[in-house]
Chain A
Amino acid sequence: MTSEVSFFRSLAIQGRVMQALLMREVITRYGRDNLGVLWLIGEPMVFTLGVMALWTFAGMHHGSQLPIAAFAITGYSSVLMWRNSVGRCVSALQSNFNLLYHRNVQVIDVFITRTLLEMAGATMSFIVLSIAFTAAELMTWPVDPLQVIFGWLMLAWFGLALALIIGAATAYSEIVERLWGPTTYFMFPLAGAAFMVDWLPKQAQDVVLFLPMVHGLEIIREGYFGNVVRTHYDLGYMATCCLVMTLVGLFLVRDAGERVEQQ
Chain B
Amino acid sequence: MATQKKPVPALYIGVIMFALGLLIATLLHSARFSQGALSAPTAGDSLFTLQGEEYTPEQLPYAEAAALFELEQQVFERKSQILENAALQAHFQNLAKARNVSKEQIRNELIEIKPVTDEEVSQFFEANKQQIQRPFYEIKDAIKDALQKDRLQRAEHDLIASLKKQGQLSLHLVEPNAPVADLQLEGYPVRGAAQAPVSIVEFADFRCPHCKHASHTLRKILEKQSDRVRWTMVDFPVTGKTSVYLAQVAYCAGKQDKYWEFHDAFFDYEGKLNEASVAGVAENLGLDGAKIEECASSPEAVQFVEKEQNQAMALGLRGTPAIFINGLPFHGDNLEAALEEAVNAAVARSRAG
A and B from one complex: no
A residues at B contact (CB < 8 Å): none
